[in-house]
Amino acid sequence: MPKVVISEFMDEAAITIELAGFETLYDPGLVDRPGDLAEALRGADALIVRNRTQVRGALLDGAADLKVVGRLGVGLDNIDVEACGRRGIAVYPATGANDGAVAEYVIASAMLLLRGAYGATGRVAEGAWPRNALMGREIGGKRLGLIGFGAIARETARRASALGMEVAAHDPYLAPGDPAWTPPTGPVGRRDLATLIAESDVLSLHVPLTEGTRGLIDGAAIARMPKGAVLINAARGGVVDEAAVVAALKAGHLGGAALDVFDREPLDAQAGAAFAGVPNLILTPHIAGVTQESNVRVSAVTAKAVRRHLIGR
């Protein structure tokens, strides 16, 4: 009987339905107990993870019988894909299953930060009436810039277009004639990176963390953004210089920022303290792609892929 280890949370119904007949160890806390995880992987045929379990190095070396890794999400920077390939270990991301969730996060964050009216509950309840101070901006007519134009960015563009935004993107890996640039919702402008940064009222990142993208949005890049622009990173921590974002918000150059991902996750006390009291800032714990609905979809897609690989159909 194949053994499947699941080290982070997933929809339990997917485990019951899709992994029936397997020896399954579901312990979402294993990600924080590396010794127990290493022990659990002895003799395991499959491992299912999210983004925190580091499938590399000693952990991978100790899983001698591992045949497949299922990723509850799409980014693979926590998995040594090359090492898995050398060992013949298949890796299955849940491609497409959480695209809509991330796109909604980006649009919701942009609307919240542009409007700027939703933090006044306490003051209004106390009798204050700060209407002039809360006169925010509309999303319609604003310019959305997407760095990377894969599936999630395209879903974001579709929603943004429906709200009347002008959409442009930078993606050097997407050919100029690709149909993605001319969707039914209207053409998406194709820009070089410098132009996109300089033109965007809302800039959203949709790239993996690589040597080429680490620190891509640094202090110099932020300085080139229009004054009052909004920056959203729901892609990968490390692509954005967090200290530069804090400085730009404090200085009033950025009109707002939403960070769902960080260079180190979770934030430690020192890193977290740097964000304390920073205006117009939304911090969320790598949750953009995780909704009740997407968790069901991602879990089912991943469990099915693992099952098919293990039983050959």
Per-residue pLDDT of 236-290, as tens digits, reads 999 999 999 999 999 999 999 999 999 999 999 999 999 999 999 999 999 999 9
pLDDT on residue 129:
97
286 is catalytic: yes
Whole-prediction pTM: 0.94
**CA–CA distance, 118 with 122 (Å, rounded to integer):** 10
pLDDT of residue 313: 61
Would you state the pLDDT for residue 312? 83
Q: Tokens 């029936």 label which residue?
A: 20
CB-side neighbour CA atoms (13 Å) of 223: 4
In whole angstroms, how far apart are CA 298 and each of 50, 237, 281? 10, 21, 29
User: 206 an active-site residue?
Assistant: no
236 is catalytic: yes
The residue ranges of DSSP E strands in the chain, in sequence order, are: 3-6, 23-26, 46-49, 68-71, 90-93, 143-147, 166-170, 189-190, 202-205, 229-233, 254-259, 281-283
Please tell me which residue in 71, 286, 297, 309 is annotated as part of the active site: 286
Q: Which two tokens stand for residue 112?
A: 């919240």
Backbone angles phi, psi at 169, to 5 degrees: -150, 160
Burial status of residue 86 (CB atoms within 10 A of its CB: 0-12, 13-18, 19 or more): exposed
Per-residue confidence (pLDDT) for residue 1, from 0 to 100 = 82
Q: Which residues of the chain are under the pLDDT cut of 70?
A: 313
Q: Catalytic residue among 143, 236, 297, 307, which?
A: 236
Q: What is the pLDDT of residues 48-66, one digit of tens each?
A: 999 999 999 999 999 999 9
Question: Of 23, 39, 138, 265, which one is the catalytic site residue?
Answer: 265
**Structure-token pair, residue 212:** 């080429």
Neighbours of 17 (CB within 10 A): 14
